[in-house]
Amino acid sequence: MPAKTYRDQDADLSLLTGKTVAVIGYGSQGRAHALNLRDSGCKVIVAQRPGGANHRLAIEDGFEPLSAAEASRQADVIAVLLPDEAQAEAFGRDIRPQLAPGKSLVFAHGFGVRFGTIEAPEGVAVTLVAPLGPGSLVRAQYVRGSGVPCLVAAGSHGASHAPREETSVTRNAMNALGTALAYAKGIGATRVGAIETTFAEETETDLFAEQAITCGGLTALVKAGVETLVEAGYQPEIAYFVCVHEVRQIVDLIVRGGLSHMRQSISNTAEYGDYTRGSRLIAAETKAEMKRILAEIQDGQFAREWSDEHEAGSPVFRAMRQQQASHPIEEIGRRVREMLARNE
């Protein structure tokens, strides 16, 4: 069954008429949602802690930043757009005490709801409007008259698996979905499409993809590739070009027309190498590891590990960030980008 997709005509922005939407956190997503909703005619208030660039930006954009507690008190719809690892604490302290039946929560990622660090009181709608792109793009596309598609869900589907069956029915869930779709329309997402999902499906697939493919898998793949060539004595810049830069062209072709379309554009030699070598690399062993990574997401092990790390002040995270930033591949990349800039 293809995923159910909602567009502008399926969403009723008037569900937000007379209501106040609080955007909590004026970061990547927060700023884009606040500006788009305001331009769509919604009454928007912003919560942003003082002292940093985002606070100044909110003021420059014409908002008067409030505390999270005050904004949650005034609002009917509360969009929690803080970093996932900071949400549990801020939610318990500032937001939850201000909730009452009839209010709605909006999240842009299901992490806290899915793993139970965020629980709303009875009568509060819990919704998900997760844009499939960074905040800068959510804003830029809106201004252009288009939008970034999103995933929508209503109701807190804590349990994993069988996501489709969970989406059926109570009146509350219908109202919650209506609110989610109105919000999705307000940020411009239904101009392109809001795809129905559940908190569990969105959270688990998103974490899996970023760990195994788009972030973890890809960076490990290109790093191992560059290292293999450099260790064999090839010039680092050449290694970087072929293993890192060319990824973009291939990915663009795949996104535009699928794997076969990409394969029509590359040489027959490349295509034959693709068929005969790729499956040697991503073999049964790699897929077995992918299944273990997915299982750690589904059973909450990854979420506990990341929450514990945040509570401990992120020592491992910060050490790894520093270590990875000083990997030799980054120095090679700097030289390659410099070279390209000079030739522009």
By annotation, the residues acting in catalysis are 109
Give residue 125's Cα distance to chain centre. Answer: 21
Minimum CB distance to Mg ion smaller for 74 or for 211? 211
Minimum CB distance to ligand NDP smaller for 63 or for 240? 63
CB of 199 to ligand NDP, least distance (A): 12
- SS3 labels along 117-146: CCCCCCCCEEEEEEECCCHHHHHHHHHCCC
Give the total residue count for the chain.
344
Whether 194 and 131 have beta carbons less than 8 Å apart is answered as no
Q: Does 201 bind Mg ion (CB under 5 A)?
A: no
Whether 115 and 303 have beta carbons less than 8 Å apart is answered as yes
CB of 309 to ligand NDP, least distance (A): 15
Q: Does 147 bind ligand NDP (CB under 6 A)?
A: no
Amino acid at 247: V
- Which of 253, 23, 2, 6 minimizes the C-alpha distance to 147? 6
Of all residues in the shown chain, the one whose CB is closest to ligand NDP is 27
| Beta strand pairing call for 43-47 and 125-131 | unpaired
Q: Of 78-86, 130-138, 164-172, 207-215, which part binds Mg ion (CB under 5 A)?
A: 207-215
Site string for ligand NDP, 8-27 (x = CB under 6 A): -----------------xxx
Contact set for ligand NDP, span 63-102 (CB under 6 A): 81-84, 86, 90
CB of 135 to ligand NDP, least distance (A): 5
Q: Two tokens at 24?
A: 């909590």
Minimum CB distance to ligand NDP smaller for 91 or for 240? 91
Applying CB under 5 A, which of residues 26, 126, 206, 332 lies at the interface with Mg ion?
206
